[in-house]
Amino acid sequence: MSEVAFEVLRSEALAPKKHAYSRDLRGRYVSSEKSFSWLLKYPSVADWIDSYTSEETREKKLYQLEKILQAGGLKEPSELLKLDERNVKLLTRRVANWYLQKGKAVWAKQIMITMKGFMEANDRKLEFKRAERIRSPVRKKVIYEYIPNKMDVYRMANNAVSIRNRTVLLCLFQAGVRVSCLCNWNFGLVKDQLYPEIRVPIRIKVSPAMDTKLNLYGLSYYMTGLQQEAAESLRDYLDMRTRGGWIPQLLDPIFVTERTGGPESRLRRESVDDRKERGEKNRDQTRVNMGPLLPQELQEGPERDTTDRRGHQRGIDGAQASRVQRELL
């Protein structure tokens, strides 16, 4: 591989990403055309990449293939297929070693996996010996992981700084779906069950279009639902968006980003000092406006023992609850 090709690869890898100023329906920035889009016009690439259903996986593999072509000074994927196995392996190892020197062992391993899949999809063999393979480092937990229980989730929902945050917490907890699945919920999914009156349980049919990992389990869909607390919070959030000028359409996403200037971004604009001074006041006002979300049986039940056998206090206080809430969002 030439030094010029490596310099091009290095400059593009370290260059800052540019974002377009247009936004999608969820309020997120819409990126411009991908640098690897030109690869899709070649049948050898299109037939190979169509075997992957996840959009994120497709983009990563196309990006990795583009870096291989650039590092080798190749203009078309057909030129890569014309190389013998030794030269393809040598080119792949050099690019992988370059990422390895940058401390990106996982990315280097993915480069080799992508190249092997691309070559095999085009009836070419690419095998790496045991000594040539890159092993990912063992993952070690560097922080203590706390899994909130039912009481903790309702405490976080009671202390949420906005209706949107409270709704996200309750929907994730009661529906048991992934965050990526929740982002794909649209208004038509719950319209007839929330209006004109709430009918619980709110039935949610999760399809592969909402959760891309559903195909891994061999399921065409599965059913989940929301109870009274999440249903009421979801309706309050939709009503708030409607009062802000949103005209609901069946395919509109339910959860959007908190844009600057909207009612949801009021607390975000406050400085850290103002939040510290008025933290207790805002928290109390939030409780008054939103009301308690703990179910009746949990409110009236006996206080659970929060002390372990070593005499240490279990559970989380208000500050820890806010930190866990931010991590979940």
List phi, psi (to 5°) of 225.
-165, 175
Report pTM: 0.51
- The answer on pLDDT for 15 being more than 50 is yes
For residue 7, pLDDT beyond 50 = yes
More confident residue, 45 or 319: 45
pLDDT score at 127:
86
- High-pLDDT (> 70) share of the chain, %: 67
Of 5-19, 49-63, 76-90, 292-306, the least confident: 292-306
- Is residue 76 over pLDDT 50? yes
pLDDT tens, residue by residue, 150-187: 999 999 999 988 899 999 999 999 999 999 899 999 99
How far is Cα 206 from Cα 212, in angstroms, rounded to an integer? 10
**Integer Cα distance of 259 and 261 in angstroms:** 6
Residue 11, pLDDT > 90, answer no
For residue 13, what pLDDT is reported? 58
Tokens, residue 146? 């706390």
Residue 293 in this model has a pLDDT that exceeds 70: no
Angstrom CA distances, 185 to 28, 235, 279, stand at: 15, 14, 32
215-274 pLDDT per residue, tens = 788 888 999 999 999 999 999 999 999 998 999 999 999 998 865 444 444 444 444 445
**CA distances for 73 relative to 1, 68, 91, 101, angstroms:** 8, 9, 10, 21
Side-chain half-sphere CA neighbours of 215 within 13 A: 8
Q: Are 54 and 212 in contact (CB under 8 A)?
A: yes
- Residue 33 confidence class, pLDDT cut points 50, 70, 90: confident
pLDDT digits (tens, 9 = 90+) for 34-69: 888 899 999 999 999 998 888 888 999 999 999 999
What residues contact 283, with CB distance under 8 A and at least 6 apart?
Answer: 159, 318
> Which amino acid, 28?
R
Q: CA 237, 209, 148: angle at the middle one, nearest 5?
A: 55
Q: Report which of 326, 317, 329, 266 is spatially closest to residue 152, judged by C-alpha positions.
A: 317
